[in-house]
Amino acid sequence: MCRKDYGAPNVREVGGAIEQLALTTRYDAAIFQARARGAIDRVSAFEARIQTESHAVLSLDPDFLAFFLNQKNALYANYAMLVESEVRKAAALQDDRRRRTVEAAMFGSISRSISYAALALDGNGLSSYGLCSIRISEAVCIAAATLLEENSYSFAVRHANDLVRGIMPPGYRAKWNDRHKLAVVKLANNISAGTGDNQFPRLLLEDDGDRTRDRFLEVHIYGPLDEQAFLEFATPDPDAYSPGQTDLCRIRDWATAHNRPWRKR
């Protein structure tokens, strides 16, 4: 029997009519308010940057990334899969329980197939999740990525009453090609007539190394990722003294050998 590929389940869900209408309604309201505040030109410039230049960035520790890149036919695995396969230890019981509860509430049975990234404009991810930033292929994101307005845990706390009943509040997620709408919904009120283009990257992803203060749009990517999905690397300087110096050199050398852009972060 012929089987048809209906695409990534997260993309199908977010592409539903209810989600699309709710997002468009919130987006139209944000644009209306920006126009009333006299900030529509700057909001439109921000939106255009998001639509044409933003990308998904995965953050990993140097030791894990160096190991992954140098394993033949390796597939990137998320936290749940690494724990289940006994590649890494589980987090402290309370943290592990919180994480698995949120993932189950957000994604149900597909939670173990979801990788988490952040939306960025400058190639730099969240240092609190790993010092190495990896830019993910646009083709992968179009096929398998959706976005959430904020960190999953924060979202789950704010919408716990709905999620515990199996209800995902509509309008807080977007397909990859609608990411500019979600960014406007979240951030338009933080943009004034005096906001400069150079402020957009920091506005989109606010990172100071503390997860409790990180502010970003979370990217959810369904399915396995191999090294072909990794387009660009940004790491600390491997030539400077660092506890992970050897791993950082291995990452830089792998990128050079495979013709992938690498830069110091």
More confident residue, 107 or 100: 107
Q: Which tens digit of pLDDT belongs to each residue from 165-197?
A: 989 999 999 999 999 999 999 999 999 999 999
b/e for 193-217, b at 16 or more Cβ within 10 A? eebeeeebbebbbebeeeeeebbbb
What is the value of pTM for the model shown? 0.92
Residue 254 belongs to some domain of the structure: no
Q: Over pLDDT 70: what percentage of the chain?
A: 90
Count of H-run helices and E-run strands, the chain: 12, 8
Residue 174 lies in a domain: yes
**Does the pLDDT of residue 117 top 90, yes or no?**
yes
Q: Could you tell me the residue range of the domain that residue 224 belongs to?
A: 9-57+75-121+145-228
**Residue 220 token pair:** 């959810």
In a domain, 20, yes or no: yes
Q: Does residue 208 lie in a domain region?
A: yes
Q: Supply the DSSP symbol for 225.
A: B
Q: Identify whether the C-beta of residue 126 lies closer than 8 Å to the C-beta of residue 205.
A: yes
In a domain, 250, yes or no: no
What is the tally of structural domains in the chain?
A: 1
In a domain, 100, yes or no: yes
Query: Is residue 249, in this structure, part of any structural domain at all?
Result: no
The mean per-residue pLDDT over the stretch 151-173 comes to 93
In a domain, 140, yes or no: no
